[in-house]
Chain A
Amino acid sequence: MAFEGIGASVKRREDGRFLAGRGHYVDDMNRPGQLYAVIRRSDRPHARLRGIDTAAAMAAPGVVAVYTGADIAADGLGGIPCGWQIHNKDGSPMAEPMHPVLAIGKVRHVGDPIAVVIAETKAQAKDAAELLAIDFEDLPGVADLRAAAAGGAPLVHDDVAGNVCYDWHIGDKDAVDAAFARAKHVAKLDLVNNRLIPNAMEPRAALGECDVAGNYTLSTTSQNPHVIRLLMGAFVLHIPEHKLRVIAPDVGGGFGSKIYHYAEEAIVTWAAGKLRRPVKWTAERSESFMSDAHGRDHVSHAEMAVDESGRFLALRVSTLANMGAYLSTFAPSVPTYLYATLLAGVYKTPAIYAEVKAIFTNTVPVDAYRGAGRPEAAFLLERLVDAVAHDTGIDRIALRRANFIPADAYPYQTPVALQYDSGNHEVTLAEALKTADYAGFPARRAEAARRGKLRGIGISTYLEACGIAPSQVAGALGARAGLYEVANIRVHPTGSVTVFTGTHSHGQGHETTMAQLVADQLGLPLDQIEIVHGDTGQIPFGMGTYGSRSLAVGGSAMVKAMDKIIAKGKRIAAHLMEAAVEDIEFKDGAFRVAGTDKSKALAEISLAAYIPHNYPIEELEPGLEETAFYDPKNFTYPGGCHVCEVEIDPETGVTKVVNFVAVDDVGRVINPMIVEGQVQGGVAQGIGQALLEGAAYDANGQLLSGSFMDYTMPRADNLPNITVGTEITLCTHNPLGSKGCGEVGAIGSPPAVINAVVDALKEYGVRHLDMPATAEKIWSIIQANRPKMAAE
């Protein structure tokens, strides 16, 4: 048997069904008697709803029901809840305006749902939705962060003064001010972290059902079905958990956008109960653009105080963060505890102070998108470090090395709350520079110049916090949920194993990686192990998949459950082999009496557990099934070094990424093939953010980039080959030593790309440019600076 355990690049078990066209996504499901829901959305950024005439739509062929916000209110449904509460500098709680399922009184962004039409066919529902007559009174809107935060801007919510959701801070302001007062240099930078639209390839979908006994089932495109059951059941529909099952089958990518509880989930579930027929809704891509939570959208000012030798003395940051029109599930946590706490990065900056104002605008809600807060922190810091190098003339590599947290300083307490457990930034930096042939760059630049091209190289040395999260810490920071993970491991009578995990796989390959973990620990072949995820009807509980947590937290729960299986197995084995429990060893799938040749396979032990004829029945319950809840002790801290090399055509402004190297320390790796794939995908999204992607609104809040024709998704010919390395220091506080690999690519890459672009354009006097560094933007810079260069 080929090695299938920890460290083997086992081919994915889920690929068989996906490659045969037998994936099972929500929109593939159809139920007898199923109805189709179509949502009528606002095409206005901000308007008062003076009236909705539903008569013509109701009379249209095939229409079964039309519901508006008034019907939702009449049934006493709650608003869409927010799962994280931030407190202001003065200790008061953030503003948390009502987020109605269907708009009541006002619409606040393009895409805000106004009414739902339910009909026998999708085409009939679409036709009828066009017949809804909606009387809007347009109001002035505001989309831009700085405009919305400025005095006198239109108010998104009448009762939220100045559009400020919260005004928060972290760090020691006095220490920072004192350090700035004695600094030799101060480098300043204004940055925009561009707004992104996630665009998982599968549009969101939801199918609600209700049986004669009032048991509800929601099948939904979710990264965390138990969280949806909790939020929707408890806060919106008031259905207790035992009457509500949420299934997230195959899900076609998430990247954060499928974490949140969305209105459509509540609508189809509620409507299925009212109509007693299944109701399915599937987003069209244009709906995804205007209703899936967007990502990023920060405007920041940052300053670094530096002494005469280039040592960082203090960092001061002020950030505006766009929340959109309503608070999405985890939105408030992103620009605070997932962002400002990461501003130390890999550096021993002794004093840090950050203030963050979260602002409502007439745009789609903003929430976590791959990396969530950490890409914003890494971009700010790694751009600022390059700016320090630029201003002081110190080499950017030497500057980083001089300020690295040394490997022997771990565990390391940062001045912004986090305590890093492990890392070695010298090693990842050296490896990345070597792989990218950094030393050979000047020759490549000269060669490119001979061809009339501008070549640049950039690096980022970053760190992030994932493996979300220790519950009590998260709770103290405002989380309204625990963030442990759950595993149930069922050893069947004949020794095969079903593992029920509260995490969810939507591209990450858990059915393979997690089976490898169990195979390794229990000494079983992979084909004896089944991984079940995504069904609250089968899995005890779980918090789902986001924040690169599935292996570090979910896998650790599995290890704990297996420890219990092995401990019970030892007691059974001791009984069967008439030995002391302390003398039983478990290795390679068998229980052995130490120092003898007596042994029993796991299957023999499980058979005895289920047919307990010869069994310590007085002391032990029959059966062999264990559940573990694992609450992590700390976040995990992957980090690394990304090196990007670009070539710019000065005639067109087009940037081509010619080489990209990512050396990431993700802790223990179970399946190297899958980890490489995760990093490559993350880097692709990071290059997309840096060069191509940007959600565009007009000043009033009209969405201008509402389709794949307007929003630039990275395509195959926009991207390079991506070389991945993983240098390992182990996580010190979870049983696997794994840190997480899902987000590192998207976190480390954008600053490496922009640092490279800035390097390529240095002769044009460029010190910084904002993302996306489109051809038009670069071409304009080149044109604007050409005369000056010629004059010089």
Chain B
Amino acid sequence: MAKISLTVNGKAVSAEVEGRTLLVELLREKLGLTGTHIGCDTSQCGACVVHVNGDSVKSCTMLAVQAEGAEITTIEGLAAADGTLHPMQAMFREHHALQCGFCTPGMVMSAIDIVRKHPEGLSEAQIREELEGNLCRCTGYHNIVKAIAAAFPLMHQKQAA
């Protein structure tokens, strides 16, 4: 067992973990942050995407011990303290970009990273290509693509302000 310390959603946390414990297991089992989901065992589905030091990462591809000292943001850490949704969350709701909700946390975390990394703008085709690492079985992606396109100006406006 190893003791690790990291920051999750702005709070300092520490935990005892086995060497083989995955970051997603730490988040779900030890920290009770069950918003991050496990949808596969081959790092294909993207349901477990979180932000590690500002980058989107499939948290099933990272050992918990590798997160020592890292700043992690999960779906639970996106909304403001008063409950105001992040623009990406708001646009997912507005455009009906979720059905069963299971892929949604990973999809939202990936979508935010996609928009952040393309301040120059994103075409529909680019959004679809960037979503390669996230599977959704319910929506056919149509409305997810719409939601991301709609969140783009809101996110970059906010950063500019």
* Interface residue ranges, A against B (CB under 8 Å): 11-12, 14-23, 25, 27-28, 30, 123, 199-203, 250-253, 255, 284-286, 506-509, 673-674, 676-677, 680-685, 707-709, 713-717, 719, 721-722
CB closest chain-A residue, reference B47: A201
Q: Which residue of the partner chain, among A19, A30, A123, A719, contacts B93 with CB atoms under 8 Å?
A: A19
Residue in contact with A286 in the complex, picked from B41, B89, B131, B135, CB distance below 8 Å:
B41
Interface flags, B1-36, vs A, CB<8A=1, else 0: 000000000000000001010000000110001111
Task: Closest B residue to A19 by CB, please name it.
Answer: B89
Q: Chain A residues near B102 (CB, 8 Å)?
A: 23, 25, 200-202, 252-253
Residues in B with CB closer than 8 Å to A682 are 140
Docked-complex contact B137 and A253, CB < 8 angstroms:
yes
Q: Do B37 and A25 touch (CB < 8 A)?
A: yes
CA distance A390 to B45 in the complex (A): 41
Q: Is A18 touching B41 in the complex (CB atoms < 8 A)?
A: no
In the complex, are the beta carbons of A674 and B96 less than 8 A apart?
A: yes
Q: Is the CB of A123 within 8 A of B20?
A: yes
Q: Are B140 and A285 in contact (CB under 8 A)?
A: no
B86 and chain A: residue at smallest CB distance: A19
Q: Note all chain B residues with C-beta closer than 8 A to A680.
A: 139-140, 142-143
Q: Are A717 and B132 in contact (CB under 8 A)?
A: yes
A601 CA to B41 CA in the complex, in Å?
55
Known: A15-B101, A252-B103. 11 other contacts (CB 8 A): A19-B101, A19-B104, A23-B35, A30-B29, A285-B39, A285-B40, A676-B96, A680-B142, A680-B143, A713-B135, A717-B125
Is A285 in contact with B45, judged by CB distance below 8 angstroms?
yes
Interface string of B112-129 (1 = CB under 8 A from A): 000000000000110111
Cα A700 to Cα B128 with chains together (Å): 38
Q: Is the CB of B135 within 8 A of A14?
A: no
B138 on the A face (CB < 8 A): yes
Q: List 20 A-B contacts (CB under 8 A).
A: A12-B96, A15-B92, A19-B98, A20-B78, A21-B35, A23-B102, A25-B37, A123-B18, A200-B102, A201-B47, A203-B39, A251-B100, A253-B137, A507-B101, A509-B99, A674-B96, A685-B137, A708-B40, A715-B135, A719-B141
Residues of A within 8 A of B139 (CB): 677, 680-681, 684
**B57 at the binding interface (Cβ < 8 Å):** no
* Selected contact of B98 from candidates A15, A203, A685, A721, CB within 8 Å: A15
Most chain-A CB neighbours within 10 Å: which of B33, B74, B75? B75
Bound complex: CA A6 to CA B29 (Å) = 42
Q: Decide: A201 and B33 in contact? CB cutoff 8 A.
A: no
CB distance from A534 to the nearest CB of B (A): 13
A509 to B131, CA, bound (A): 24
> Quick check: is B145 within 8 A (CB to CB) of the other chain?
yes
A685 vs B127: C-alpha distance when bound (angstroms): 20
Given contacts A19-B92, A716-B127, contact A201 B41 (CB under 8 A): no
A715 to B129 Cα, complex, angstroms:
9
B79 within 8 A of A: yes
Q: Is B44 an interface residue (CB 8 A)?
A: yes
Per-position 1/0 for B40-57, Cβ under 8 A of A? 111011010000000000
Given contacts A21-B74, A23-B35, A716-B128, A507 and B93 within 8 Å (CB-CB): no
Task: For residue B3, give the distance in angstroms from its CB to the closest CB of chain A.
Answer: 18
Chain A CB within 8 A of B151 CB: no
On whether the beta carbons of B75 and A20 are closer than 8 Å, the reply is yes
B100 and A677 contact, CB distance less than 8 A: no
In the bound complex, residues from chain A placing their C-beta under 8 Å from that of B99 are 253, 507-509, 677, 681
> When chains A and B are docked, how far (Å) is the Cα of A157 from the Cα of B99?
40
Asked if B38 and A27 make an inter-chain contact with CB atoms under 8 angstroms apart, the answer reads: yes
B115–chain A nearest beta-carbon distance, Å:
15
Report the Cα distance A25→B79, complex, angstroms.
21
Closest Cβ of chain B to A359, distance in Å, is 28
B108 within 8 A of partner (CB): yes
Q: Separation in Å of the A11 CB from the closest CB of chain B?
A: 6
Enumerate the 4 nearest inter-chain pairs by beta-carbon distance, A residue then B residue, closest first: A21-B35, A252-B102, A684-B140, A18-B101
Chain A binding surface SS class: loop
CB contact between A19 and one of B108, B135, B136, B145 (< 8 Å): that residue: B108
Cα-based distance from A200 to B100 in the complex (angstroms): 9
Q: Which residues of B contact A709 (CB under 8 A)?
A: 42, 44
**How far apart sit A255 and B108, CA to CA, in the bound complex (Å)?**
23
Q: Known interface pairs A28-B34, A507-B101. Does A719 touch B41 (Cβ–Cβ under 8 Å)?
A: no
A19 to B41, CA, bound (A): 23
Determine the distance from Cα of A14 to Cα of B100 in the docked complex, in whole angstroms.
9
Q: Say whether B144 faces chain A, with CB atoms less than 8 Å apart.
A: yes
Q: Give the distance in Å from the alpha carbon of A685 to the alpha carbon of B141 in the complex.
A: 11
- CB–CB B129/A717 < 8 A: yes
CA gap between A309 and B35 in the complex, in Å: 61
With CB as the reference atom, state the residue of chain A lying closest to B136.
A201
How far, in angstroms, from A620 to B91 measured CA to CA in the complex? 50
> Quick one: closest A residue to B20, CB to CB?
A123
Rounded to whole angstroms, the CA-CA distance of A202 and B45 in the bound complex is 10
| Also in contact, A507 and B44, with CB within 8 A (given A11-B94, A12-B93, A21-B36) | no
With A202-B102, A506-B100, A719-B140 already in contact, the answer to whether A21 and B34 are too (CB < 8 A) is yes
Distance between Cα atoms of A719 and B146 in the complex (Å): 13
Complex Cα–Cα for A677 and B102 (A): 16
- Residue pair A18, B96 in contact (C-beta under 8 Å): no
Contact in complex: A715, B36 (CB < 8 Å)? no
B42: chain A residues at CB < 8 Å are: 285-286, 707-709
**Chain A residue nearest to B90 in the complex (CB):** A19
Closest B-chain residue to A505, C-beta based?
B100
Central interface residue in A11, A19, A677, by most chain B CB within 10 Å: A19
Q: Are the C-beta atoms of A681 and B34 separated by less than 8 Å?
A: no
Once the chains are docked, how many angstroms separate the CA of A12 from the CA of B139?
14
Decide: B40 and A255 in contact? CB cutoff 8 A. Answer: no
Which of B28, B101, B143 gathers most chain A CB within 10 Å? B101
Q: Hey, what's the 0/1 contact readout for B64-80 against A, CB within 8 Å counting as 1?
A: 00000000001110110
Residue of B nearest to A14 (CB): B101
Verify if B85 is at the interface (C-beta below 8 Å from A). Answer: yes
Taking a contact as CB atoms under 8 Å apart, the answer to whether B89 and A253 are in contact is no
A21 to B107, CA, bound (A): 12
Residues from chain B with a CB closer than 8 A to the CB of A199 are 137
A250 pairs with B142, CB closer than 8 A = no
**How far, in angstroms, from A677 to B129 measured CA to CA in the complex?**
21
Chain B residues with CB below 8 A from A19, complex form: 75, 85, 89, 92-93, 98, 101, 104, 108
Residue of B nearest to A686 (CB): B140
Q: A25-B102, A201-B47, A708-B45 are in contact. Are A721 and B142 (CB under 8 A)?
A: yes
| Chain B, Cβ-Cβ closest to A285 | B40
Specify which chain A residues have a CB less than 8 angstroms from the CB of B92 in the assembled complex: 15, 19
Q: CB distance A677 to B132 under 8 Å?
A: no
> A524 → chain B, closest Cβ, in Å?
23
Q: Please name the residue on chain A nearest to B127 by beta carbon.
A: A716
Quick one: which of B44, B76, B96, B131 contacts A21, CB cutoff 8 A?
A: B76
Cα distance A454–B104 in the bound complex, in angstroms: 36
